[in-house]
Structure 1
Amino acid sequence: MSYSGPPYQSGPPPANDSNTLSIVGIVLGTIAFIFCPPGFGIAGIICGVVAKSKQERLAPTAIGVSIAGLVLGTVLGVLVFRGMYGG
């Protein structure tokens, strides 16, 4: 007599309950808006992408905020630099 268990069902892995990397990415993206956009912006994007690979719920928000912080922080820096040095 053979035992037949329930059929094996393959599906997507469950979403990660932790949002730690996503929150770190959001914070880094926010800091990038005011202070050192290339450094903090790129670090925030990396945290967001890693969080997305771990299927964290807030990962797309972290990526968006980091990209916005990088772009807007760079534009703000250029405008402030031009205003200070008249270039």
Structure 2
Amino acid sequence: MSSPQNPQYGDDPASGQPQWSQPPPPPPPYQPPYPQPQRQGAPVLSIIGFVCAAVSLLFIPILFGIAGIVLGIVGHVRGESLGKWAAVTSGITMVLGMIIGYLVVRSMTA
């Protein structure tokens, strides 16, 4: 009686020949389809845009609101994640500042 032997690692039991293969090469690193904007340092333009938004609520809304919108958009284009929100916030506070200014002027003349 003969017992079947376990084939060694890499041997093909059907042919009796060693079957050595190389592992597949690693996949290439992921490359995005277009270049991403590089963010360097703190989001300075976005922070200044938020400050302009806060100031536009009470002082010269049309000037500081537009400045905040422009700074937020430029910050967003340069890769700052808060730039979009600074622009939106500046637009909202500009409108609210104009409404508050209107109400204050109307109450003073009445």
Alignment TM class, shorter chain as reference: 0.7 to 0.9
**TM-score, length basis structure 2:** 0.66
Three-state SS of the structure 2 residue aligned to 1:51 is: helix
**TM-score, length basis structure 1:** 0.81
Unaligned runs of 5+ in 2: 1-27
Equivalent residue for 1:13? 36
Taking only the aligned residue pairs, the percentage that are identical comes to: 40
Equivalent residue for 2:107? 83
Unaligned runs of 5+ in 1: 1-5
Q: Say which structure is richer in helix.
A: 1
**Which runs of at least 4 in structure 1 moved beyond 3 Å after TM superposition?**
9-12
Deviation of the 1:15 alpha carbon: 4.7
Give the distance between the partners of 2:83 and 2:68, measured in 1 at CA: 10
- 1:28 and 2:56 correspond: no
Q: Higher Cα Rg: structure 1 or 2?
A: 2
Give the distance between the partners of 1:70 and 1:15, measured in 2 at CA: 30
Equivalent residue for 2:63? 39
Three-state SS of the structure 1 residue aligned to 2:34 is: coil
Q: How does 1:42-57 map to 2 (within 5 A)?
A: 42-57=66-81
- What is the root-mean-square deviation of aligned Cα atoms in Å? 2.1
The structure with higher relative contact order (CA 8 Å, sep 6+) is 1
